[in-house]
Structure 1
Amino acid sequence: MSDLTLRGLHKAFGDHVVLRGVDLSVKNGSLLALLGPSGSGKTTLLRTVCGFERASQGTIEIGGRQVESDEIYVRAEARRIGYVSQEGSLFPHLSVAENIVFGLPSQQRRARHRVDELLELVGLPLSCGDRPPHQLSGGQQQRVALARALAPSPSLVMLDEPFSSLDASLRAETRQAVADALAHAGATAVLVTHDQSEALSMGHEVAVLWDGRLIQIAAPDVLYRRPVSREVASFVGEALMLAGVAEQGSARCDLGRLKLSDPHASGPVDVMIRPEQIQVAVEDRDRSELAEDNRCTAYVEAVTFYGHDARLNLRLEAAPASALAGGLAVYARVPGYRAPAVGTRVRLSVDGEVVAYPH
């Protein structure tokens, strides 16, 4: 497999600009998750890298070989890129084995080249090879599509939201199988998705595309804990924004004085807190669980129960270090088994560092 490098990539359809100077590098053998809202340019970027669309400006290199620039254009079929679409796009009149070898030379197709190896790689029984695709589940069909993409030993594998049509339980199982197969094959891959949990759980790095621009590329934990903007913070998971004042490495807000992950900010700020950072203790039962400083009291107004966790809508009774006299609405995530009842008086504190965005 090969690395991928984009420099100054632009793409426009007439007067409509979709990609605006994208610079991106994907390391050999790694999986990059390309994350962004609908209309951000994700699919256009994928199609341009694959050669399905011609870039308006910029260069594309795969394994050090330039496949596109102002002077060079290598056709899609010569770029050696494996492509897995959202639907899988298997041929219904061909068996699973025939689908896997479809893009290979005729001699290898007749010999069912690497079919057993690839079925095993994607976690399917060898008996699937002679079955038609419609006899497989949606998740199994996506694994066959991956096996077909890997069959010609491509330089790069591109996955275009391949799990979006699957139900929740099948999606998680198929994600893991695909991630394991790509890792075992040593594949360099780009996963295009709008699903934050998918990007964070699968990507070695996550790149956020926003209005045609890459605004942050980072490891999943860094992206989640230290998003570069309010927009990224709110898009990648839930984010509570509170007005505050930053000084000397901390920020004062309605939930107390909180330590900043970036101590350079100062003056009026918006403090970003993840809801799971808010520690909730029932006033009487859990008094000893929270430190005496940097805590406040609130009442539980609503509980949304998800099983493994619950979302609490809270109304502050008192807001320390704030111009407000109380009554601010906030929300928190707690383990489902610890969710207090509506009307319960609780104490709140914030665990860990927070991020501040200057006004």
Structure 2
Amino acid sequence: MSNLNISGLKKSFNGAAVLHGIDLTVKSGTLLALLGPSGSGKTTLLRVLCGFEEADAGTVEIDGRRVVGPGVHMPSEQRRIGYVPQEGALFPHLSVADNIVFGLPRTLRRARHRVAELLELVGLPASYAERAPQQLSGGQQQRVALARALAPSPTLVMLDEPFSSLDAALRIETRQAVADALAAAGATAVLVTHDQSEALSLGHEVAVLWRGKLIQTATPEALYRRPVSRELASFVGEAVLLPGVATRDAVDCQLGTLKLAAPANAGPVDVMVRPEQIRILPAGAAAATQANGVASLHAATVREVAFFGQDASIGLMLDAAPGIAIRARVPGYLSPQVGDKVSVAVDGEVTAYPRA
């Protein structure tokens, strides 16, 4: 597969800018998750890369071959890009095998070139080749759509929110099967999604598009632990934001003196803590835990419990600061009850943002 290099890419519709000078590099064999809220420009970027829309400015190179640039707009069919749409878009009057080979030259279509191999690659039995698409589940149809995209041995694979129409259990199973198939094929791929958990679990790297601008590209762990802005912190998972004062490597706030993941300029900041970093302990355990020097503990009262089975989201009010509410996430079996008096402490490093 190939490298993808995007430089200064711009696109407007009716005078309204949608993409503001996008710069992005995707290395060969990488699955990049392109994450952003609705209206951020994700689909427009994908359509420009596929050749469905013409860029206003900037360049796109695939494995060193320029497909977008000043005076250059290579037609979609010449870019060798595999495309997997949201709904799979299989042809209902064709068998699974005929769907897979649809984009191949006539001689290869007649020979049903690589059908059994591609079905195995996406985790489906070879016997499914003769089935009609409507005889498959939604997840199986998406796997066939991926097999069709991989059949011509494309330079890149583009996936446009391919799991959004599937129910929760099927979504998890299907996206893992698709990720495994892309890895087995050594594919370079761009997955467009607005689902944070999907981006973090599947992407080797995650690029966040926000109001038409690429604001951060990082590994999933770095993006989640050190988002570049408080708005992004709240978009990528849940975030507890508290006022504090930074002293380079640490910050003082209502949850004590916390270590910073990255040095900050001294002065007023907003502190970002992830809910799962907040430990909840019985109120009576405070003295013993403090004596062991494990953490700085603070008395709190449970105000709300949202139980999800495997875990629970706990709304807390700090007793020493009644106006400050925080939210913790704990394993479901450790969920306290509304009204419980507890102690809370913070595990790990936190991130701080200068206060405007």
Check whether TM > 0.5: yes
- Please say if residues 266 and 358 of structure 1, whose CA atoms lie closer than 8 Å, have aligned partners that are also in contact: no
Distance 1:189 1:176 in 2: 14
| 1:302 positional shift | 1.3
- Please say if residues 282 and 340 of structure 1, whose CA atoms lie closer than 8 Å, have aligned partners that are also in contact: no
> Which residue in 2 is equivalent to 1:170?
170
Distance 1:307 1:287 in 2: 31
> Which residue in 2 is equivalent to 1:322?
none
Distance 2:351 2:10 in 1: 32
> Which residue in 1 is equivalent to 2:309?
307
Distance 1:309 1:239 in 2: 16
Paired residue secondary structure (1:141):
helix
> Which residue in 1 is equivalent to 2:121?
121
> Which residue in 2 is equivalent to 1:36?
36
Amino acid at match of 2:299: T
Task: State whether structure 2 residue 340 is matched by structure 1 residue 344.
Answer: yes
> Which residue in 1 is equivalent to 2:82?
82
- String of CA shifts for 1:136-177, please: whole Å, max 9, x gaps: 000000000000000000000000000000000000000100
1:81-160 alignment runs, 5 A limit: 81-160=81-160
- Please say if residues 40 and 211 of structure 2, whose CA atoms lie closer than 8 Å, have aligned partners that are also in contact: yes
- String of CA shifts for 1:228-280, please: whole Å, max 9, x gaps: 00111010000010011111411111111111111233200000000000011
> Which residue in 1 is equivalent to 2:264?
264
Amino acid at match of 2:310: H
1:134-283 alignment runs, 5 A limit: 134-283=134-283
Q: CA RMSD in A?
A: 1.1
Paired residue secondary structure (1:333):
strand
| 1:292 positional shift | 6.8
> Which residue in 2 is equivalent to 1:323?
none
How many percent identity over aligned positions?
66
Distance 2:285 2:213 in 1: 50
Distance 1:289 1:175 in 2: 42
- Please say if residues 289 and 295 of structure 2, whose CA atoms lie closer than 8 Å, have aligned partners that are also in contact: no
Distance 2:300 2:212 in 1: 42
- Please say if residues 39 and 211 of structure 1, whose CA atoms lie closer than 8 Å, have aligned partners that are also in contact: yes
Paired residue secondary structure (1:260):
strand
- Please say if residues 90 and 145 of structure 1, whose CA atoms lie closer than 8 Å, have aligned partners that are also in contact: yes
Distance 1:166 1:335 in 2: 26
**Residue 248 and residue 105 in structure 1: after superposition, are their counterparts in 2 closer, same or farther (change >3 A)?**
closer
Distance 2:95 2:66 in 1: 36
| 1:294 positional shift | 2.1
Paired residue secondary structure (2:139):
helix
Paired residue secondary structure (2:55):
coil
Amino acid at match of 1:68: V
Distance 1:45 1:183 in 2: 23
Task: State whether structure 2 residue 30 is matched by structure 1 residue 26.
Answer: no
> Which residue in 1 is equivalent to 2:329?
333
Task: State whether structure 2 residue 346 is matched by structure 1 residue 355.
Answer: no
| 1:327 positional shift | 4.2
**Residue 285 and residue 267 in structure 1: after superposition, are their counterparts in 2 closer, same or farther (change >3 A)?**
closer
Paired residue secondary structure (1:249):
strand
Q: Which runs of 5+ in 1 are unaligned?
A: 320-325
Amino acid at match of 1:111: A
Paired residue secondary structure (1:46):
helix
Distance 2:313 2:285 in 1: 20
Distance 1:66 1:293 in 2: 55
Greater Cα shift, 101-110 or 245-254:
245-254
**Residue 256 and residue 285 in structure 1: after superposition, are their counterparts in 2 closer, same or farther (change >3 A)?**
closer
| 1:73 positional shift | 1.5
| 1:284 positional shift | 2.3
Q: Which runs of 5+ in 2 are unaligned?
A: none
**Residue 162 and residue 247 in structure 1: after superposition, are their counterparts in 2 closer, same or farther (change >3 A)?**
same
Paired residue secondary structure (2:262):
coil
Normalising by structure 2, report the TM-score. Answer: 0.97
Normalising by structure 1, report the TM-score. Answer: 0.96
**Residue 298 and residue 72 in structure 1: after superposition, are their counterparts in 2 closer, same or farther (change >3 A)?**
same
Aligned residues: 353
Distance 2:118 2:294 in 1: 59
Amino acid at match of 1:219: T
**Residue 287 and residue 342 in structure 1: after superposition, are their counterparts in 2 closer, same or farther (change >3 A)?**
farther
